[in-house]
Structure 1
Amino acid sequence: WAVGGAVRDILSGHYAGDWDLTTQARPRQIEQLFKRTVPIGIEHGTVGVLARDGTLFEVTTFRKDIETDGRHAVVTFADTIEEDLARRDFTINALAWHPIEQKLLDPFGGLKDLEAGVLKTVGVPEKRFAEDYLRILRAFRFAGRFDLRIDEASWKALCGGTEHLRGLSCERVRDELLKALDQHRIPSRTLSLYAKAGALGVLYPELDELRTADHSIALNRWEFTLASIDELPPGNAFLRLAQFLHLLDPKKVVGILVRLRFSNAQTDETSQQASASALPGLDANDEAIRRWLSSNSPERLNALARLELARARAHPSVIKTPSEVVDSWRRARLIRATGVPLSISDLAIGGNDLIRIGLRPGPNFSRILEDLLDFVLTDPTQNERGILRAHVEARLGAYEE
């Protein structure tokens, strides 16, 4: 049987990605039936089966839950597809398709709910969410992605369970957020549900402050944040994440990213994108643009331009109009393309030259090179070895203080 998201996506008119298959056969039997297999999750009943073209299909033995604790489930093998579907979270995910028999199995009315635009749990909502409280966040994600209304009983149950989200691992919370930011055409629908149900205040209290801030001001910061995220296309999870965080204090941005256990590189780049100053305006002189470029790589320039363009489209009166953002980005790119020195590595002299002048290697070298960079950012024509040597020699006393 084909089960899960691919069946749901096909029936709802969306592109189906990975196909998950389930069977009564036990893992060892699956390995015996197929020539090319990968033991990707034998302990969970899952075997990877490689098709002739190299496509990997995950084939899992029917399962049923025997114990849950709100975060994880202890499962055992089941004998029927009905038992397997009964452990699913929502009716729209409890669908199975038999490709040979051309048969759709829908024991909980998932197709009807999908057509009616309703998200409903399988079985008693309180019990289903209590089995794994991550299902609350999954409810937001599915409702937002497919523009579904969460039925009254399920909504009441999930609102009553939001405090239990504190017990979930940071990694699972992070991954749910990234899926919503990456996959959805209109992620604001999902993020609005976080706020409406109280999950935003539990998981991201820093962001909840935006929503509850003084609404008497002309620009509602929470609504502006959501609108600007929607202006970025799917497939840009980290860019959308930076947009999600950009109105927060930089320390709070880093705090959230560290709390969600992003890698150091992801934390550094996303926080830089979220907290970076705006692109220099059209009234900025060339020196101001060079100094801005000195602090931002070509990749970051493009990312920040996309972020600022999304904000301008969401609310054109905030800083710049969309056309002004594009003009600022083009001007910055043109200045970078001239090859003017923008970093220490672009300087006409380096550490060996400082040694020849008579300076001893040490921490002071960094300060000297930074001073030289500041010198040529003011006037790029001064980036010549002789001129820079003379500049250093004239300031030897200051460097030695």
Structure 2
Amino acid sequence: MKVKKLPANASTALKIIKIVKNCGAEAYLIGGCVRDLYLGIEPKDYDVATSLPPDEILKLFPHSNETGKSFGVVRVNDQGEEVEVATFRLDGPYSDGRRPDYVTFSSLKEDISRRDFTINALALNPDTLEIIDYVGGIDDLENGIVRTVGLPEKRFQEDRLRLIRSIRFAHRLNFKIEDETGKALTRMAQEIKTVAMERVADEFQKILLTSPAGDGIKMLDRYGLLSPILPEIIRMKGVDQPEQFHPEGDVFIHTCLALNELKPNPTKAIVWATLFHDVGKPDTFMVTDRIRFHGHAERGAEMIFDIGKRLKLSNELIERVSKIILEHQRFGDIDKMRPGRIKNWVAQPHFEELLEVHRADCAGSHRDMSAYEKATEFLNEIRQLETMPPRIITGKTLIEIGLEPGPIFKELLTAAYEAQLEDSFTNKEEGIEFVKKFMNENRNC
């Protein structure tokens, strides 16, 4: 089996292979890049496998990163582009469930026999464009199957991150997981808890960033991996919602539908916020005249700090996700808001992320897009401005009229700016009059 041609972005890897082969060694493209080439997908990066030992690779490419040298891996840097070059190897025992205790250098066939999944265990000879397949990877690509190389339990025990990676590949490629691989995956699912959380979260995030993300979440759940990673999402199951707003079903079903409704190429904040936007509902469920979830946005915005820290997400990402969760219910009040308040709101940083989460939330439930459309109109109006107009009334202005700095300043400055955006005043004198009138009408100020 051959590929027709190699993309232009393979040039650095091909250059490395040519240099290695000129020394009389074998060298091939290997792994996921070959899989993608076979499927007609342009790889993002390329890996090389060779018979040349690491020390010899370093002699040819002296400015390489040799951090993985003890495992036979050297990262060759060529004009800012890095290519992983690995010596054919067999792995020793995996005492830590992540890396082999030692490696022995071997042949291409033996190297392929130790890899994770058949679809990733393909090599390509760049001179002939022929794909080398010792494990049935091409058949599995043709049939849309994710299957381990060899015994599933052994492959998963070697590196338990492969448990979630199997789901990621199946989700990304719209493949099925082979029966024996799936049975082992389900039996061993709880062992994902032994893997460093940042490694798990990185794979989880890749699933979320691949549309339709809700299907990825359901696949994680089907094979038992969602519960040990995010029990908070499992708690959404069976939490009923008022049918007039959520005819689709419980909170878990709604969340998966909302994730599936996201536009392509969402930001990290969008996918995490969509996943967690209703995470506070199980804690706030109550039945009065109907099912209600008073304060679920506030509860969810609070919960994400503990969840995010557990997942080792960045503080900046956690803050953004929390803010989106906190504000995702505000769209229900948009018809009651003055134009100035809406303009000030939509001009806030990352509002477009909040808007996309709201759109997916609606599309995954009642499908009433009126609030989304109104907010979009104001957002488009703001976009036409090169910048938002500077504030006429500032903190300095409030001090000038004899006010002491304190919590009151935020309320006064917000009210003044919203009034300014509505053209209620156009200069400082009129603005001061507005502030005085506002304070008289709101005696608690």
CA distance in 2: counterparts of 1:215 and 1:388, whole angstroms: 46
CA distance in 2: counterparts of 1:5 and 1:241, whole angstroms: 26
- Aligned residue number for residue 213 of structure 1: 239
CA distance in 2: counterparts of 1:296 and 1:216, whole angstroms: 29
Indicate how the Cα distance of structure 1 residues 131 and 279 shifts in structure 2: closer, same or farther if over 3 A, else same.
same
Deviation at 1:283, TM superposition (A): 6.9
Structure 2: tracts of 5 or more residues without a match: 1-27, 281-299
Aligned Cα root-mean-square deviation (Å): 3.3
Deviation at 1:174, TM superposition (A): 0.8
- Aligned residue number for residue 229 of structure 1: 259
- Aligned residue number for residue 31 of structure 1: 58
Does residue 1:170 correspond to 2:231, yes or no? Answer: no
Give the total of aligned pairs.
Answer: 388
Deviation at 1:358, TM superposition (A): 4.7
Deviation at 1:231, TM superposition (A): 2.5
Length-normalised TM-score, structure 1? 0.84
- The Cα offsets for residues 248-270 of structure 1, whole Å up to 9 and x where unpaired, read as 12223333222111111110112
Q: 2:227 aligns with which of 201, 205, 219?
A: 201
CA distance in 2: counterparts of 1:185 and 1:372, whole angstroms: 42
> Does structure 2 retain, via aligned residues, the 8 Å contact 1:280–1:292?
no
Q: 1:150 aligns with which of 162, 165, 177?
A: 177
- Aligned residue number for residue 372 of structure 2: 325
Aligned residue identity for 1:156: K
- Aligned residue number for residue 87 of structure 1: 114
Q: 1:265 aligns with which of 304, 309, 316?
A: 316
SS at match of 1:325: helix
- Aligned residue number for residue 303 of structure 1: 353
- The Cα offsets for residues 27-82 of structure 1, whole Å up to 9 and x where unpaired, read as 2311323476454644543333345x754322122233212132443342422122
> Does structure 1 retain, via aligned residues, the 8 Å contact 2:346–2:378?
no
Length-normalised TM-score, structure 2? 0.76
Q: 1:58 aligns with which of 72, 84, 106?
A: 84
Indicate how the Cα distance of structure 1 residues 191 and 372 shifts in structure 2: closer, same or farther if over 3 A, else same.
closer
SS at match of 1:248: coil
Q: 1:334 aligns with which of 374, 381, 390?
A: 381
Indicate how the Cα distance of structure 1 residues 161 and 376 shifts in structure 2: closer, same or farther if over 3 A, else same.
same
> Does structure 1 retain, via aligned residues, the 8 Å contact 2:148–2:181?
yes
Q: 1:374 aligns with which of 409, 415, 423?
A: 415
SS at match of 1:88: coil
CA distance in 2: counterparts of 1:280 and 1:64, whole angstroms: 57
Q: 2:392 aligns with which of 328, 343, 348?
A: 348
SS at match of 2:235: helix
SS at match of 2:375: helix
CA distance in 1: counterparts of 2:417 and 2:131, whole angstroms: 70
Indicate how the Cα distance of structure 1 residues 354 and 28 shifts in structure 2: closer, same or farther if over 3 A, else same.
same
CA distance in 2: counterparts of 1:358 and 1:331, whole angstroms: 35
> Does structure 2 retain, via aligned residues, the 8 Å contact 1:2–1:96?
yes
Larger mean Cα displacement after TM superposition, 112-121 or 290-299: 290-299
Indicate how the Cα distance of structure 1 residues 40 and 383 shifts in structure 2: closer, same or farther if over 3 A, else same.
farther
- Aligned residue number for residue 76 of structure 1: 103
Aligned residue identity for 1:123: G
CA distance in 2: counterparts of 1:159 and 1:216, whole angstroms: 34
> Does structure 2 retain, via aligned residues, the 8 Å contact 1:2–1:99?
yes
> Does structure 2 retain, via aligned residues, the 8 Å contact 1:206–1:252?
no
